[in-house]
Amino acid sequence: METKKWEALLTAVELGSFTRAAERLGYTQSGLTHMMHALEKEVGFPLLIRDRYGVRLTAAGERLLPAIREFQQVGKRLENQISLVGNTKRESIRVAAYSSMCVHWLPAIVSKFRMDYPHISVDIRMGNVDEMYTWLQEDKVDISFVSHQERDGFDWVPLWDDPLLAILPPDYPIGSQTTFPLSAFQGKEFLMPSLGFEYDIIPIFRAAGVSPDIRDTSVDDSTVISMVELGLGYSILSELILEGRRDNIIARPLEGGAYRPLGITLPSLQQATPLTLRFIDYSREVVRAIHTASTSKK
């Protein structure tokens, strides 16, 4: 039995209409109706009820629904495997990531991956967290390297907890403090990093009951750092962003510890291609090695 027929049936039931299902799938209504008649003839009994209320499953169809969905998933995995075998030389993996991950993680990940898959191209684009999820929804990328967000419809693969640091002007009287209390931000002019960083920072302030005087910015991390250097305010950035920089600022971990969980998000691990899953495995391995080596040097 063709998986397309079962896909058409599930779509008709989901939308409650042959007309809307045909529009979504690119069929004519008569073509879709004929397809459903042929499917019911194959199984030997009615699957759908068609009346003035729309389209819904018969009792027999409801009993088959779990198996139909499982059959669809198996069919998609088979199609992915066929595509992988038939198109290996021209296949690519489309990746989106924050700029800090593009700088510190992806070169090593791609280098190691390409050693074993030299014919696979890795297409990389850089963006903010909202762009990442939009690109995934629009099928413009396969995976996104982001900080963890509570968003429905996506799977999450954790990679690393990135410490958040208070960024202070060079003349701040820090004394011997090795950490910086969140309460010290109360009422202070705070330069909010752009590119969606507020999703990571605002919940921390709310949980602590701290209300800084937030100045939204539309500049990159380097500009925020320069503004702090000149005493124009305070900020919070992550350890990964500051890695390798030599700016004239004071950076201290937040008292009690605060992190932004970094990882990979994608629409479905179950439906991802085998090659995408391998790229995720390489990412786990490389990120762990990078930070293990970095920790041992401290």
DSSP 45-56: S--EEEETTEEE
CA–CA separation, 182 vs 256, rounded Å? Answer: 9
Greater pLDDT, 297 or 196: 196
pLDDT, residue 284, reads: 95
Residue 124: C-alpha distances to residues 25, 106, 157 (Å): 30, 9, 18
**Chain region(s) in the chain for CATH 1.10.10.10:** 3-86
73 versus 240: the higher-pLDDT residue is 240
Fold of 92-298: D-Maltodextrin-Binding Protein; domain 2 (3.40.190)
Distance CA 137, CA 267 (A): 8
| Interatomic CA distance for residues 181 and 172, integer angstroms | 14
Instruction: Tell me the per-residue pLDDT of 160-178, one tens digit each, with 9 for 90 and over.
Output: 999 999 999 999 999 999 9
d(CA 214, CA 245): 25
User: What's the pTM?
Assistant: 0.66
Please state which CATH class domain 3-86 belongs to. mainly alpha
Q: How far is the C-alpha of 117 from the C-alpha of 133, rounded, in Å?
A: 27
Is residue 244 very low, low, confident or very high in pLDDT (cuts 50, 70, 90)?
Answer: confident
- Of the pLDDT bands very low, low, confident and very high (cuts 50, 70, 90), residue 89 is very low
* Short-list 213, 207, 206, 253, CA closest to 232: 213
Specify the pLDDT at position 171.
93
What single-letter amino acid sits at 174? I
Q: Where in the chain is the domain with CATH 3.40.190.290?
A: 92-298
Per-residue pLDDT at 128 exceeds 90: no
User: Does 1 score more than 70 pLDDT?
Assistant: no
Contact residues for 11 (Cβ-Cβ < 8 A; gap 6+): 21, 24, 25
Decide if 285 contacts 92 (C-beta within 8 A).
Answer: no
Cβ(38)–Cβ(68) under 8 Å?
Answer: no
Strand partners, 253: 165
Tell me: pLDDT of 229 over 70. yes
Mean pLDDT is lowest, of 66-75, 80-89, 185-194, for 80-89
Express each pLDDT in 248-282 by its tens digit. Answer: 999 999 998 899 999 999 999 998 988 899 999 99
Please compute the mean of the pLDDT values over residues 185-208 and round it to a whole number.
87
Over residues 141-162, the pLDDT tens digits come to 999 999 988 877 899 999 999 9
DSSP, res 91: -
Q: What are phi and psi of 145, to 5 degrees?
A: -90, 115
The answer on pLDDT for 135 being more than 80 is yes
